[in-house]
Structure 1
Amino acid sequence: MTIHNISENDSILNTFLAEIRDTVIQKDSMRFRRNIERIGEVLAYEMSKSFDYKSKTVETPLAKTEVQIQENDMVLCSILRAGLPLHNGLINYFDKAENAFISAYRHHLKNPETFEIIVEYLACPNLKGKTLILADPMVATGQSLLATFEALKPFGTPKEIHLVAVIGAQEGLDFIKKHFPKNTTLWIGAVDKDLNSKGYIVPGLGDAGDLAFGEKLQH
């Protein structure tokens, strides 16, 4: 698996990352969602450099000219609910992509520090031979991404897989690198070193879903 950590090079992305981490700024849920969306746009732009292109003749008011047009047949899949703002950022750039959505959440067992990933909802088009983009804002343990990938297998084998995340822990990256196919590329905003005992990224930013949409009731 190839990993592109975009924050390793200074850009406006680092400003958006700083704002979503800031405990004062992140209290504004609308700004938090917009910053996640903008990070998705930055990652989409960087990812687009790796795609396939074909030449097309375009007629302007003055003359004809040759331009390069992206030709990947894409399916963009996001994990509900935290993945929605990131999905919006990606589809702002990949507006012709088909879309898939999956509900995957942590179900805590008797020990609050242990959990399993439960998938309850999935809507997906045919993936055979397509470019699959899996979007999950936080890669902590990596189990949610793996559970999503396993749930998508009945829909066909994609030509290539791109994973998109805002922040990830190194442990989670090592996990998905071990379990995903070799033709997988990860595009990520920043990589943090640690996970705490509950499997949350440190320093991270907190619960992305709660910050974007409000606190949820546990069941």
Structure 2
Amino acid sequence: MKVIDFSLTNSILNQYVSEIRNVEVQNDRLRFRRNIERIGEIMAYEISKTFDYSIKEVQTPLGIAPVSTPDNQLVISTILRAGLPFHQGILSYFDQAENAFVSAYRKYKDTLKFDIHIEYIASPRIDQKTLIITDPMLATGGSMELSYQAMLTKGEPAEIHVVSIIASQQAIDHIAEVFPKDRTTIWCAAIDPQINEHSYIVPGLGDAGDLAYGEKE
């Protein structure tokens, strides 16, 4: 299984990651959401380099132009609600993709212990398609695992791209264990070393859903 950590490469992506982490910048929800989208756009561009391509002939006003374009049938899946701006950023580059949405949430037994529940899924068939499954924050990897299992009720994808902005090393290790190793790639803007007792990524950035859309009760 290949793991891509963009923080190891110098690019403008790191600027947007620094802003969504910055407590002084986070107060601007519009800027937070837009930075999440821009990270999604950049990562979509990088993911596109792994697709299968073929030459198509395009009629121009003056002749025929050969153009190499991707052949993959894409399904972009996101975990609600924090994943929405990230999903939109990826979709803005893969505008012909089909879309899927999964509602996964933590149900706390006490202040530290919780189970993860899947409440809702809306998805097309994914048989032999390229599945891009996204969540901006991968803390334990549990929500991603259950979301993937829910997606499998819609078929078996040909390949899987797990796409996140900030992941913990624990989540990376977990996904590497439970996803198919021969056809999964993990893409992260940054990988942080640990999670705390509440299963939040450290240093992370806080609650991405609250920062994007406001606090929930």
> Which range, TM-score by smaller chain?
over 0.9
Partner of 2:148: 149
1:100-153 per-position Cα deviation (integer Å, ceiling 9, x unaligned)? 0010011111x3211111111110100111111101000000000001011111
Q: TM-score, normalised by structure 1?
A: 0.97
Aligned residues: 216
How far, CA to CA, are the matches of 2:54 and 2:82 in structure 1?
34
How well do the aligned residues superpose, as a CA RMSD in angstroms? Answer: 0.8
Partner of 1:28: 28
Matches within 5 A, 1:1-219: 1-109=1-109, 111-182=110-181, 183-217=183-217
Structure 1 stretches (4+) deviating beyond 6 angstroms? Answer: none
Tell me the CA shift for residue 60 of structure 1. 2.5
Tell me the CA shift for residue 63 of structure 1. 3.0
Greater shift, 59-68 or 189-198, is seen at: 59-68
How far, CA to CA, are the matches of 1:15 and 1:63 in structure 2?
42
Tell me the CA shift for residue 61 of structure 1. 2.9
Tell me the CA shift for residue 65 of structure 1. 1.8
Question: Gaps (5+ residues) in structure 2?
Answer: none
What fraction of aligned residue pairs are identical, expressed as a percent? 52
The one-letter code matched in structure 1 to 2:176 is K
Q: TM-score, normalised by structure 2?
A: 0.98
The one-letter code matched in structure 2 to 1:216 is K
The one-letter code matched in structure 1 to 2:137 is M
